[in-house]
């Protein structure tokens, strides 16, 4: 019998130890050189932008980036169907196969005039740096000035595309570079996947995508996730940039595009596949605002997981408040079908941690992992250099009028820090019993 073809993706990881501006954009000896003028001119082809300023922020530097819109990892499709960020940069063709080169240790960070009040900051040093994984990356910042008269949605779309273009441009420099490491991921057709490890518990990942609208949007192959029914996706597609962030949910628990590209849940499920679990795949679902939409999506997602024959499911949320209901509906409907669940979320439990953590609950949610309390207050010291507009912290979710002090220091909830309580578990917080 002829073996069905698996989806197989090779990720060639090129580790970047420094980024500098120069005459030719290239990768050589672990150094990414960027032609600043060429990249700026590429981005300025978008008539919605009137100016683009590029800078570099390195780990340990006294630099603050604010407001942060998105973080994206540079990559290039070397072989296989489609291209990176399909629907935006690459054609709308299924990705997740062939070979992709990724520039590890660096990222594109988009910033500029605030779009929505739920954006954030990245400190490259000091106590704030400990809350975000992005302080450990060499960041190429893309500061965009929009044309006057743009609506908020047009402004966000222009910034989103600029970040993706910049990441694809930088990724292209790694096309012919020799990777430091090649990691192979394979996703088998379902009958083969079940047959290969018949004695291991079958696990599916239910991947909740922010889709409330009003600048709370995520895109799958260029399609706004609020327009989809829950569906199956190969985990390898996610690594190729099939899911793109376009949302302004609170900075601490928004999934940037970088988070999607490097999903720790998917990576860990792959690492345990064939050892103590049989990882069958990913069901993506949305977080819409009406009760009917929530009922529809949660029921449909649970049906798909049951059809796959799963014994258990990991469910991750994005955002808080309204999506807590989606999380609990997904949990309850899966558990009622005999499918064990583990949830990953974060908490808004008040500054003293004494309030109700989530806006909804169900007795079925008896295995929950927390990514931290977003209401915890920190004081961030002033930085020598600020890329962007520091005064925006006074209106960003988690800040308040007076958060920015006269000396440049900031008092705010960790909600303002990009990735501080990320609900994929891509964070630096842990919990202990007291």
Catalytic residues, by residue number, are 248
Compute the Cα dihedral for 254, 258, 260, 265 and give only its sign: negative
* Whole-number Å distance between alpha carbons of 142 and 397: 22
Helices (H), 126-228: 152-172, 190-196
User: Residue 271 belongs to what H/E stretch?
Assistant: helix 264-272
* Whole-number Å distance between alpha carbons of 332 and 328: 6
| Mode of pairing for the β-strands spanning 231-233 and 368-373 | unpaired
Query: What is the residue whose two structure tokens read 């941690």?
Result: 353
Q: Both tokens of residue 200?
A: 């291991």
> What number of other Cβ atoms are within 10 A of residue 47's Cβ?
8
Q: Are 15 and 108 in contact (CB under 8 A)?
A: no
Q: Both tokens of residue 257?
A: 């595009």
- Nearest-10 crossing angle of helices 291-307, 322-336: 40
Q: Are 135 and 129 in contact (CB under 8 A)?
A: yes
DSSP, res 6: P
What lies within 8 Å, CB to CB, of 358 at 6+ separation is 320, 324, 327, 328, 345, 347, 348
Please tell me whether residue 78 adopts helix, strand or coil conformation: strand
* Whole-number Å distance between alpha carbons of 223 and 423: 22
Polymer length in residues for the chain: 434
374-403 burial string, b = 16+ CB within 10 Å, else e?
bbbebebbbbeebbbebebbebbbbbeeeb
Query: What is the residue whose two structure tokens read 């899966």?
Result: 334
* Whole-number Å distance between alpha carbons of 300 and 76: 34
* Whole-number Å distance between alpha carbons of 252 and 135: 14
Q: What is the dihedral of CA 223, 227, 230, 232, to 10 degrees?
A: -20
Q: Both tokens of residue 163?
A: 């970040």
């Amino acid at each position: 019998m002829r073996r069905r073809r698996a989806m197989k993706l090779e990720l060639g990881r090129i580790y970047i130890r420094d980024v500098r501006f120069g005459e030719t954009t290239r990768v050589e000896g672990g150094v990414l050189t960027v032609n600043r003028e060429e990249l700026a001119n590429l981005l300025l082809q978008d008539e919605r932008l009137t100016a683009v300023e590029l800078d570099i922020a390195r780990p340990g530097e006294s630099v603050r980036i604010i407001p942060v819109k998105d973080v994206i990892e540079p990559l290039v499709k070397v072989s296989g169907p489609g291209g990176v960020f399909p629907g935006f940069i690459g054609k709308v063709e299924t990705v997740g196969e062939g070979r992709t080169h990724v520039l590890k240790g660096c990222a594109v960070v988009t910033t500029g005039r605030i779009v929505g009040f739920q954006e954030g900051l990245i400190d490259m040093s000091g106590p704030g740096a400990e809350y975000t994984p992005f302080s450990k990356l060499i960041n190429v910042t893309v500061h965009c000035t929009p044309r006057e008269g743009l609506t908020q949605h047009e402004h966000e779309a222009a910034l989103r595309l600029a970040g993706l273009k910049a990441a694809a441009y930088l990724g292209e420099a790694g096309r012919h570079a020799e990777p430091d490491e090649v990691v192979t991921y394979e996703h088998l057709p379902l009958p083969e996947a079940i047959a290969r490890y018949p004695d291991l518990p079958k696990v599916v990942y239910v991947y909740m995508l922010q889709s409330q609208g009003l600048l709370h949007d995520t895109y799958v192959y260029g399609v706004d996730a609020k327009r989809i029914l829950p569906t199956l996706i190969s985990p390898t597609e996610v690594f190729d940039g099939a899911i793109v962030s376009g949302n302004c949910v609170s900075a601490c628990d928004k999934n940037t595009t970088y988070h999607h590209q490097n999903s720790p849940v998917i990576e860990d499920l792959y690492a345990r596949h064939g050892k103590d679990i049989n990882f069958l795949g990913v069901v993506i679902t949305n977080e819409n605002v009406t009760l009917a939409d929530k009922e529809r999506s949660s029921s449909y997602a649970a049906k798909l997981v049951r059809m796959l024959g799963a014994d258990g499911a990991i469910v991750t949320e994005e955002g808080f408040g309204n999506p807590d209901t989606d999380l609990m509906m997904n949990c309850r409907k899966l558990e009622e079908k005999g499918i064990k669940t583990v949830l990953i979320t974060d908490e808004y439990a008040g500054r003293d941690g004494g309030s109700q953590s989530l806006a909804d609950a169900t007795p079925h949610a008896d295995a929950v992992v927390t990514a931290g309390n977003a209401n915890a207050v920190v004081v961030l010291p002033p930085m020598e250099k600020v890329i962007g507009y520091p005064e925006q912290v006074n209106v960003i979710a988690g800040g308040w009028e007076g958060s920015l002090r006269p000396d440049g220091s900031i008092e705010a909830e960790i909600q303002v820090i990009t990735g501080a309580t990320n609900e994929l578990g891509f964070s630096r917080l842990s919990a202990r019993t007291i």
